Structure 1
Amino acid sequence: MADIFNEIDEELRKDKAQEWWGRYGKFVIGACVVVVAAAGGYTWFEQQRTAELRELADRYSHALTQADAGETDPALAALQSLSQEADGEGIAMIASFQRAGILADQDRHAEAAEVYAAVAADDGVDPLYRGLAELKAILHRSVAGEDTAALLTEIEPLTLDGEPWRYSARMVAASLAMGAGDMEKAKAYLTQVSDDDGAPNSARTQAVEILQAIGS
């Protein structure tokens, strides 16, 4: 008798399962298809992204090879194109920094400053590197002959405590102050560096040497 009840119970379970599958089976199948498609799409996306990044890296490497070979203009053009087409990628910023460096090496400081300024103004770039770009832009604008007093005002925020590039900014600010004839301000910036135990040793040593040279 128990076997009969077991058979009846099993048949009921089968009927309920078939009823459930008939009602919801298509949704289960659809969900499985979506999951498989999503996994496949993600894999394809990652493969495409890897290929794109590799292609960008190859272009950057080729531009550096051109620069080393003295093919400056093609290298600059390639780096500019790379920085524009790779917008949003870290390599775009690196290409811009490299391009500005090549321009500076050619004494084209005003052009180098423009490239650095563009990086500094890009909200997509990490604030750390935006600050460095701004500092470099001011430095090269100074070398290009811009008014040092005006640049001294612009650089001041970068010299404040807590700013990541404050030591370099203070050294540049000291140089600008000397160029503007404000020796007291120059000494103040140099002293900030020389008396700061947290400053890099090279910066502290240089600050002390300059202070001695200008008769602090």
Structure 2
Amino acid sequence: MHEPRPEGAVTDFFREVQEDLQRDRLLKLWKRFRYPLLGLIVAIVAAVIVIVVLKDAGDARNEKDGGRYAEASKLLSDGKDGEAAKAFNALASEATGGYAALARLREADIKAKGGDVDGAVAALDALAKDNRVDRVYRDLAGLIAAERLIDKAPLEDIMSRLSHLLAPDSSWRWLATELKGVAELKAGKTEEARATFTELVENSATAAGVRFRAAELLSGLGGPLIKKDAAAAPDGAQPAKTGSEAEAKPAEAPAAEAKPADSAPAAEGDQ
């Protein structure tokens, strides 16, 4: 016969089960947010395309590349993914500047859409490390690569792609911080995730859409993390309620999300 578990071990066991169930529930909630987030990234890429077109207007070579990019995009919208991938690959090899970088992003997206996530991440990593490419494209490639790896890579791999995007001067710091929190949650680092989402919710500069999603996830983690130096309320003050006392109220869904950091192109869209 198996010997009965000590009482403390039983308590630990049930706590672990409860934490696993909580994490699974929150990750399901994240999946609801994931598709709008991917849509946002696509919108950012589209905005960058507009910037490239305006910047390169009047340049015969770039106008030709723009035409090729439009043709490849039409193939993709018509459901001809294979032909579109070949067209984007050729453009990435032969074009220069923004259109070459955008073609590489779109080709990677087609790979991921077709189930080749590893191939997509490899292509994105190569773009992110290519110093010949403008930083805005390299950073965007790193952000997308991290998002693609959320379901399949250890936290260390994801953070290796996000770490420099968390800097105050990064155009993508809010989205990068959000992905950091989700990766921590998925890795079982609940308190770290709670601290990350608390940072997003309490920072007045956080993009509205990111704050909304962070608040939703944070409400399932017992509310904002109270810092030790703020845990003791002053005389007569009522301590903040957390956990089972009161769930954090989710932020109202924004009508329009805030723009990326000032260093990003103005037309990149809201986060």
Q: Give the TM-score normalised by the residue count of structure 1.
A: 0.70
Distance 2:106 2:133 in 1: 15
Q: 2:202 — aligned with what? A: 195
Matched, 1:85 2:98: no
Counterpart contact for 1:152–1:177, Cα < 8 Å: no
Q: Deviations over 1:29-58 (max 9, x none)?
A: xxxxxxxxxxxxxxxxxxxx9333232122
Work out the CA distance in 2 between the residues paired with 1:204 and 1:84: 39
Q: Give the structure with the higher percent helix.
A: 1
Counterpart CA distance in 2 for 1:69 and 1:81 is 19
SS in 1 for 2:185: helix
- Distance in 1 (CA, whole Å) between partners of 2:93 and 2:215 is 42
Letter in 2 for 1:99: E
The 1:214–1:71 alpha-carbon spacing in structure 2 relative to 1, beyond 3 Å, is same
1:183 corresponds in structure 2 to 190
Gaps of 5+ in 1: 1-48
The aligned residue for residue 123 of structure 1 is 131
Are 1:134 and 2:142 an aligned pair? yes
Equivalent positions of 1:36-75 (< 5 A) are 50-75=59-84
Contact 1:64 1:75 in 2 (8 A): yes
Decide whether the 8 Å contact of 2:145 with 2:161 is kept in 1.
Answer: no
Within 1, Cα distance between the matches of 2:150 and 2:79?
27
In the alignment, what sits opposite 1:95? 103
The one-letter code sitting in structure 2 at the alignment partner of 1:161 is P
Q: Note the alpha carbon deviations across 1:112-165, whole angstroms, 9 max, x for none.
A: 21222122111122222211211111221333x122343235423322323221
Q: Which runs of 5+ in 2 are unaligned?
A: 1-57, 224-271
Instruction: Provide the C-alpha distance between the structure 2 equivalents of 1:82 and 1:154, rounded to a whole number of angstroms.
Output: 26
TM-score when scaled to structure 2?
Answer: 0.57
The residue number in structure 2 matching 1:150 is 157
Q: Residue in 1 aligned with 2:166?
A: 159
Question: Partner of 2:17 in structure 1?
Answer: none
Larger RCO of the pair (alpha carbons < 8 Å, separation 6+): 2
TM-aligned CA deviation for residue 104 of structure 1: 2.7
- Partner residue, 1:112: 120
* Greater displacement, 125-134 / 101-110: 101-110
CA RMSD of aligned residues (A): 1.8
Greater gyration radius = 1
Give the drift of 1:174.
0.6
Checking the alignment, whether the CA contact within 8 Å between 2:92 and 2:101 is kept in structure 1 is yes
Runs of 4+ residues over 3 Å off in structure 1: none
